[in-house]
Amino acid sequence: MNIKQMKWRIRYAMQYFPFTLNTLLCTAAFWGGYHLLYKPTPKGEDQSSLMPFIILMGKMTFMLLAFIVIISVLSTIATWIYYLIQKSNGKLLTVDFNIESRKGRKNRLFLYASLPGAIRPLLGFVKGRLIYDDNQMTDQFSLMSGQRKERSIWRLAITGKSNIVLPDIKEYDLKGGFVYFQDMLHLFSLAVPQPISGHFYQPPVLMQEQDADVYPKKTETLDVRIEQMRRVEGEHTNYKDFEAGDDVRRIVWKVYARNRELVVRIPEMFEPYASHLNYYASFFADVKDSWLDDGYLKEMLNYYKNNVWTVYDTLSKKEWQMSFVPDQEFTVADEADDAAKTARIISNSEWHKDKSLSEYFSPKNGTVLCISSLTDPHDLANLLERCDASTVVYFVKVSQVFKHYAALNLLSRLIIRPPQDRLSKLRTRWLFSPMRLQVNKREQAIEALLKKSDVVWGEL
């Protein structure tokens, strides 16, 4: 058993520990109040005429508070025992996830939980917690609402809705969960394990939009006519044998002089119809294998996914039908529409070293390409030679995720307010990380290549 597994077992066992920090604090407060109110007055000490009345009122308040707290604790224990009986009859916590869109930044993940057969403690709380992936735990969420039986006053289950924020944009695998019964002051937290399984994913969110004029290159239907016709086949370097009816002005006389064969040039052809806007986003990372699981690259991946999704959301508002072409093969659950399916595909994507950029992107069919700071500059240079002004490239500088917006923020992270989440911790160390110099050098090389190319490009 390694240290990581030992830490997990200790943390898992601590979920059954019924006492909390509030237990210690409230015990000390009650002891102090009892010692102050019931301590005998020393003989010979002068007392105010109002002191007995003040002490009497204090004792009454103290007794009332103690009575309420004891009732809440006993109610918590009773509802906990009652739910243990209901659990033996198959009444378990059920969870469902839904992605809701709001104004501004879209795609917030909400958890809907239902606990049938349970009763909420008097003046107390019922909370839940999920275990996912490699024995990670979510924050506690509340179950405060009631679901009643149809045409009845009796409660069928207690429910709750919570916004779940997890560290990474990806697919998560549920491994189990807990339900906690807590009194009004959180003196006790009585846990009940829950066998929960399933999958859910954290969706990407929208960043600042950057629009561009784009035109489809792929035709699957003849429903949409474009204003600017595109080349679909034919180059002046392509020839065919001369046939009756061909224009004699297109005969290649140099070929005839060389081998006495009449050939004609194949003219350029233009297609006035287009239907699909193919969108490519490369997750190829030209970095060391040991870096792929590093916290820096995980935060870069989250930032890149948000920008990839933002580009898709921006372009999907145009009249073209969007088609996202992933560079990885995986199976995702069926979604209601193409946008939801694309969001899930983007969330499931990871940094990889399997398919290079030139192997992935097709200049003939692809209109929009999204690349990151981890792209191989040599591979990008070879690809740009085959692209023209009809290709739009979005360059995402993933190092921007660690950018400090003010010196005061850095000071607050180092001295005043210690960082709590992973991104804040990495931001404080990014300035001294050896990875920063390599990533910045790569970004400068990619930007220089894009400036020299014929493509239309933008920086995110």
Q: For residue 267, how many C-alpha atoms fall within 13 Å in the half-sphere facing its CB?
A: 8
Between CA 337 and CA 328 the distance in angstroms is 20
Name residue 200's beta-bridge partners.
172
- Look at the block and give the residue holding tokens 């077992």: 9
Give whole-number Cα distances, 279 to 57, 322, 349, 402, 426, in Å: 74, 7, 15, 27, 31
Q: What is the pLDDT of residues 329-381, one digit of tens each?
A: 877 777 667 888 888 899 999 999 988 999 999 888 888 999 999 999 999 99
Q: Cβ–Cβ contacts within 10 Å for residue 178, how many?
A: 21
Strand ranges, E, within 59-139: 94-100, 108-116, 125-132, 136-137
Q: Cβ–Cβ contacts within 10 Å for residue 439, how many?
A: 22
Catalogue the long-range contacts made by 285-290 (C-beta closer than 8 Å, 24 or more residues apart). Answer: 285/351, 285/352, 285/353, 285/372, 285/374, 286/353, 286/374, 286/375, 286/376, 286/379, 287/351, 287/374, 289/353
- By CB atoms closer than 10 A (0-12, 13-18, 19+), residue 155 is middle
pLDDT of residue 284: 94
pLDDT of residue 219: 47
Which letter does DSSP use for residue 401 in this model?
Answer: G
- The torsion defined by the Cα of 113, 119, 124 and 129, in degrees rounded to 10, comes to -30
Which letter does DSSP use for residue 106 in this model?
Answer: -
| Regions of the chain with pLDDT less than 70 | 1, 40-48, 101-106, 149-153, 209-239, 266-276, 319, 335-336, 404-420
Give whole-number Cα distances, 389 to 134, 254, 312, 379, 453, in Å: 46, 32, 20, 19, 9
Furthest-apart CA atoms within the chain: distance in Å: 136
Non-local (6+) Cβ contacts of 339 within 8 A are 312, 313, 316
Which letter does DSSP use for residue 127 in this model?
Answer: E
Q: Token pair for residue 259?
A: 């081998």
Residue type, 83: Y
pLDDT of residue 291: 83
pLDDT of residue 90: 86
Would you mind telling me the total number of residues written for the chain in this entry?
Answer: 460
Q: How far is CA 335 from the centre of its chain?
A: 17
Q: What is the pLDDT of residues 246-255, one digit of tens each?
A: 777 777 777 7
Q: Which helix H or strand E contains 189, and what residues bound it?
A: strand 189-194
Question: Is the distance from CB of 251 to CB of 263 less than 8 angstroms?
Answer: yes
Between CA 413 and CA 409 the distance in angstroms is 6
**Taking Cα atoms as reference points, which of 332, 370, 33 lies closest to residue 201?**
332
- Look at the block and give the residue holding tokens 């909420």: 120
Please give, one letter per residue, the 3-state secondary structure of 326-372.
Answer: CCCCCCCCCCCCHHHHHHHHHHHCCCECCCCHHHHCCCCCCCEEEEE
pLDDT of residue 418: 52
Give whole-number Cα distances, 277 to 20, 211, 228, 274, in Å: 56, 14, 14, 8
